[in-house]
Structure 1
């Protein structure tokens, strides 16, 4: 059955592995470059640097959080690592564009990446004109998802009503604070159908058909 989203007029989307499929492999390129940077900063062998990278991700919500706290890494230096990555593996998805266009109300990006990366990816996907604003890691003061503070800052910045908001994410744990605030949560990706988390409202392997089939609020 199609999802009932007739109460939604704010559409909040994660970016990476949500507005394009994880199967593209793009985030693998990001991760490899990140590991190389951790090796450079710490002097650790690659396998130990990768383990530390994942430890910081689990503890801080971002590898960057651990690098800032324990190694004095500047956010700008870290984010610049990814600004010249090839986007060739990311394909324009016309059905997704069409599905996004039919959504009534406001559309936002909510990403733990920086603004330059978000705008670059959205432009490559030809989706940049569809979003009212990008709320990125600098916008919420480095309180990354799933930190509830980042959600609170995003809601306050845009005057959002959580009950009228749907949040789409590929990371299950990032949906819990959204659910706790009253948002409708949608887990996206091949792993989604297997999720049994009580804070996930809807699950879909592919975003475009889910949005295309959803029941939406009627507009005048």
Structure 2
């Protein structure tokens, strides 16, 4: 863990990072996205899924593709797809304790939006654990892995990325983080497409669960 000894800013992705991918919260969002695209394009569920997944892989998020190709209002889309129940999430008391104990600043960097992120954090017992949330609106709708969003996080909040660590379940989102000087931790826990683009050249640590990794960092 010496590679992290001088980190003073801890940056976390949200979904499938602060809770296990096995919670499958995204299945609920996935369904809402499909419904939204069916209504938008007047297509069936099969075509909606093709569009949805194609935009996700090509643009970083489904939203980015919908904005570019169909001029979708991001607020309307995000309000709709995030209107889900959070019952699948539970508090991991050890994780809460380990995050609280991290030295320095703590941030969320998500391709979702802040209202949704705050609902997730509250459900996880982490409502007061993070100084800031850098969401899709704050990136100017240029989602991870677009390097611009990372640079905006750095510049807006005065973060020295050479002393930052980034935790993320989507391997490809770690490449620009590493290029900008961050320490990178890939949570390889079975997220859909999480392995796409994985390369040890930009991944410093590969783990399958956040809690034991942070416990080890704290010497437990």
Q: Matched residue of 2:186: which SS?
A: strand
Superposition misfits of 4+ residues, deviation over 4 angstroms: none
2:34 equivalent to 1:27: no
User: Is 1:100–1:130's contact at 8 Å kept on the other side of the alignment?
Assistant: yes
How far did residue 3 of structure 1 move? 6.0
User: Is 1:21–1:189's contact at 8 Å kept on the other side of the alignment?
Assistant: no
Q: Structure 1 regions of 5+ residues with no counterpart?
A: none
* Equivalent position of 2:179 in the other structure: 180
* Equivalent position of 1:202 in the other structure: 205
User: Is 2:25–2:88's contact at 8 Å kept on the other side of the alignment?
Assistant: yes
Q: Structure 2 regions of 5+ residues with no counterpart?
A: none
Q: Distance in 2 between matches of 1:126 and 1:82?
A: 23
1:194-213 Cα shifts (integer Å, max 9, x gaps): 85532100011110110111
Higher relative contact order (CA 8 A, sep 6+): 1
* Equivalent position of 1:93 in the other structure: 92
Q: Matched residue of 2:88: which SS?
A: coil
User: Is 2:186–2:203's contact at 8 Å kept on the other side of the alignment?
Assistant: yes
Q: Distance in 1 between matches of 2:123 and 2:214?
A: 21
Q: Matched residue of 2:128: which SS?
A: helix
* Equivalent position of 1:211 in the other structure: 214
Q: Distance in 2 between matches of 1:83 and 1:191?
A: 22
C-alpha distance 85-149 of structure 1, shift in aligned 2 (>3 A): same
User: Is 2:11–2:107's contact at 8 Å kept on the other side of the alignment?
Assistant: yes
Q: Distance in 2 between matches of 1:43 and 1:131?
A: 41
Q: Matched residue of 1:138: which SS?
A: coil
1:146-180 Cα shifts (integer Å, max 9, x gaps): 00001111100011111100000000000000000
Which TM-score applies when normalising by structure 1? Answer: 0.92
May I ask how many residue pairs the two structures share in their alignment? 214
* Equivalent position of 1:57 in the other structure: 56
Q: C-alpha root-mean-square deviation of aligned residues, in Å?
A: 1.7
Which TM-score applies when normalising by structure 2? Answer: 0.92
